[in-house]
Amino acid sequence: MKKSSNAHHKHVKGSLCLIPPLLLAVLFYLQFQTLGFFSSIFPCGAGQSAAAGDYIDRLRASATFLPLKDTREWAEAWFISNVGDTSEPEGEAKNIFFPSPVTDGRLLCLSAPSRRDGTKNAYALAWRDALPDDAELRTGLAYVSETAYDHSNLWHGISALIPFASWHARGVCEGRGRRETTPARWALFHHGEVRLGMSPWLTSLAEATTGVDMVVETFNASYTPVCFEEAVVFRRNMAGMTRERLLAAFDFMRCKARAQCGVVDGGDPSVVNVTILFRTGARAFKDEAAVTRVFQNECARVAGCKLTTARSDNLTFCDQVRLMSGTDVLISSHGAQMTNLVFMERNSSIMEFYPKGWRERAGGGQFVYRWGADRAGMRHEGSWWDPNGEPCPNSPDILSCYKNRQIGHDEAYFAQWAAKVFAANKERKAGLAAGVAASTRQREATTTCCS
């Protein structure tokens, strides 16, 4: 319950003052419940039983609903702002688990009618046997996700998904003796607003990862509180996660997706598979044939190199998993389809392309796949920004005119860049093949955990 802002401090102090009477109430309640048991044997306890009921009613009434989006806080702390989150177990993204000692054993209850305004939705903490009036109890574990980005853009969505993948992976990998980590349902929020699902690619990935269908709690546009028997809340995407946990989570997702799609591991280490993943429309290459030719020529100079071209827009989820699992070098222009890089083997290579204008004006966000490659254990081999194109002199904002332009090519530059990347990749794979023992060990570790 550590808080930074003063206003909050006061608020928290106020809530702290409430704790002793509440605890007292719980003690009374527990005691009277026991007495209640005897009262059925000794009729003289009937009055006390009524008193227990009275205490339960008071506890029930003490559950206070607060706005789910606390506008006094900054974006990553406004969701359930009165409860602090921790990186527990060690190395995980910051989370809150309900019920736990942090919540004094209380469950998370949400009254969330709004899909447009997070301040109209509310949360309360309540003991299981004194839930708010009319509340509906949902059994099992709920994954509650709040993201300042969204659950539809592939890259943004995967940032929200990763902490849950890690949470679930830990349960699977560490096995017996741990609490349930498979979600019975998901509750999705963006700025405290209810969301009804993730995009299909993300849903497929989440389902492959957890091994169960994604059931989304919609709250039915209703004020009726929904209380979760257990809930894990992530509200800051990957913040707090160690690099080791991050890589392990990506390994787990990759392995689960491959298993789901029937991909068999173990390609030929003397092969270098290069894939050009084309886009249609926005940020497509102007001359796909010419681009293919350049990379094909360079590929032909490397023994065992094979070039494949594909188009992301008509590939199913499993098509994408299959294609990327066998890809050593991914060549693609900046866009959501690049998120598929998570299915490549670790240490695979990515070459990225942008239209004119992005380098100067798109800001840090243009590097998401560079960061993404690094997080997932891949090698981003650099980017090419098209230097040619009409200027945008009266462009009111950074990307209004440049954003979705098509991309040209530079044969000489592409050729020498590709030669370098293909050769290095080949060398790395050969080196890896030489250290087979180590890689087999690693594969076994992943497989055990994944199966």
Task: Provide the binding-site residues for ligand NAG, judged by CB under 6 A.
Answer: 220, 222, 267-268, 271, 273, 306, 308, 311, 314, 326, 346-347, 432
Q: Could you tell me how far CA 433 lies from the centroid of its own chain? A: 33
Nearer to ligand NAG, 164 or 278 (CB): 278
Nearer to ligand NAG, 293 or 306 (CB): 306
The residue with tokens 């004119």 is 356
CB 369, min distance to ligand NAG, A? 18
CB 235, min distance to ligand NAG, A? 26
CB 377, min distance to ligand NAG, A? 7
Nearer to ligand NAG, 104 or 136 (CB): 136
Sort strands 122-126 and 107-111 into parallel, antiparallel or unpaired: antiparallel
CB 46, min distance to ligand NAG, A? 37
Nearer to ligand NAG, 259 or 271 (CB): 271
CB 311, min distance to ligand NAG, A? 6
Nearer to ligand NAG, 228 or 354 (CB): 228
CB 222, min distance to ligand NAG, A? 5
Nearer to ligand NAG, 219 or 402 (CB): 219
- Whole-angstrom CA distances from 140 to 179, 197, 231, 289, 350 are 11, 19, 8, 53, 40
CB 346, min distance to ligand NAG, A? 4
Nearer to ligand NAG, 304 or 389 (CB): 304
CA distance 203 to 431: 36
Determine the residue with CB nearest ligand NAG: 267
Nearer to ligand NAG, 119 or 347 (CB): 347
CB 393, min distance to ligand NAG, A? 37
